[in-house]
Amino acid sequence: MTGSMKRVLAALALTLGCAGFSLAQQAAPAAPAPAATGAPPGFVAPAVPVADETAAQRAKTQPGNNAPVWRAVRESGLQPGTSNLPGAEMGVLIQPFVQYPGSKFTTAGEAWRQVRNDWIIPYGGSLLLIAVATLALVYFTKGPFGSQPKDTGRKIERFTPYERVLHWSTAITFSVLAISGIVLAFGKFFMLPVLGGTLFGWLSFALKTAHNFVGPLFAVSLVLFAIKYLADNLPRAGDMGWLRKGGGLFGKHHVASHKFNAGEKIVFWVGGIVLGLAVVASGLVLNGLVPGFGETRGGMQVSHIVHGVASMFMMALFIGHIYMGTLGVPGAMDAMKTGYVDESWAKEHHEMWHDDVKAGKIPAVRSGSQPPGMAPASTRA
């Protein structure tokens, strides 16, 4: 057999093989394309019975119509379909319908979105703006709290190095979380138009990553902070008197108080303990760090709502705390920077604590050597 004859026979065989494959494809029932159902790959919805000839005819004349599939998914409620993806609710494409106040029935996911966009974002943002505006009004109409006492040169230790480390670690991690949270929640309203979509997208991604990593650090700092400062924030005699007089808001002098006044104790218990623990617990669930919780969409949605609401109130309280530690009470920041305050400042702003220190009931210096200008050792326990 010549070479030419071999090439002709090979071409003929290839042609017949291609024709046979084509006929076989036409004879076999066509498999639905992944896009025909609109469902993720690997998902099989619950069976859709053909109720009448109209539905059967539509299946023939409109093969790409996926309305029956999604109708069956919705009607199945929490009954999952079949999925090859592991995890809770992987076979449930749509959450069941719920009644959202003031609107028609909708899915639980849509209800969560409406709660976030219609309640948490606008009212939470308004709360933060009101807090800032109120403190600005107080500052420009009243000025700092109390008079500025003259330094005596005699210093009293107010916070130990360990207390200051706990305070600053909690303050720094909280600031990172607050700033990143504000940008993620409200950034699209005031930053996106300025930065543009690309830059704002990268910024949001970076802040979201920082938020996730700093959150657990804040949780540890907050727990240690609460343990260390618990004793000094217990209710004591004089706290109600401080509250009745508004902490000196309407007077010229501070009201006598212990190491922490009643206002600071409210921030500690409400902002640090109640709201702080709610923020930490819900944040850990959202981060997937609490086994057995937040594995379903409903759990994640509830955690997100708790996290958002608690965070807004917590930031509003701490805005006031930051103001009082800086502009509101001159000299207060020195206590957290150096650990020491002047005797005159202690008497002006925390007279009961100052008197206890002078009487030897409370140690004025708990660690380290006596710094220059420290009160005589006879005043220290």
Lowest mean pLDDT among 41-55, 93-107, 142-156, 274-288: 41-55
What's the domain range around 202? 110-133+154-368+372-376
Is residue 111 helix, strand or coil?
helix
For residues 10 and 81, which has the higher predicted lDDT (pLDDT)? 81
pLDDT of residue 338: 92
Using the predicted structure, report yes or no on whether residue 308 has a pLDDT greater than 90. yes
Roughly what angle, to the nearest 10 degrees, separates helices 121-141 and 297-323?
A: 10
Q: Could you tell me if residue 70 is inside a domain?
A: no
Q: Please tell me the predicted confidence (pLDDT) of residue 152.
A: 83
- pLDDT score recorded for residue 44: 58
pLDDT at residue number 367? 35
Average pLDDT of the chain, as a whole number: 79
Give yes or no for a contact between 149 and 341, defined as CB atoms under 8 angstroms apart.
Answer: no
Q: What's the burial of 306, exposed, middle or buried (CB within 10 Å: 0-12/13-18/19+)?
A: middle
Q: What is the mean pLDDT of residues 133-156?
A: 85
- Let me know if residue 216 belongs to a domain: yes
Within a domain: residue 88? no
Residue pair 340/157 in contact by the 8 Å Cβ criterion:
yes
Residue owning tokens 């206590």: 335
Q: Residue 235 falls within a domain, yes or no?
A: yes
**Better-predicted residue by pLDDT, 221 or 141:** 221
Residue 102 region, left (φ>0) first, then alpha (ψ -120 to 50), else beta?
left
Torsion of CA 345, 346, 349, 354, to 10 degrees: -160
Per-residue pLDDT at 162 exceeds 90: yes
* Residue 76 located in a structural domain: no
In a domain, 52, yes or no: no
Total domains, the chain:
1
Q: pLDDT at residue 184 above 90?
A: yes
Task: Tell me which residue of 287, 312, 301 sits closest to 127, measured CA to CA.
Answer: 312
- pLDDT, residue 136, reads 94
pTM of the model: 0.75
Checking if the pLDDT of 284 tops 90, the result is: yes
114-150 in b/e form (b: 16+ CB < 10 A) is ebbeeebbeebbeebeebeeebeebeeeeebbbeebe
Q: What is the pLDDT of residue 97?
A: 66
In a domain, 164, yes or no: yes
pLDDT tens, residue by residue, 71-89: 766 666 556 677 777 777 7
Q: What is the CATH number of the domain that holds 328?
A: 1.20.950.20
Whether residue 28 is predicted with pLDDT greater than 80 in this model: the reply is no
Is residue 175 in some structural domain?
yes
pLDDT, position 101: 59
Highest mean pLDDT among 2-6, 23-27, 209-213, 342-346: 209-213
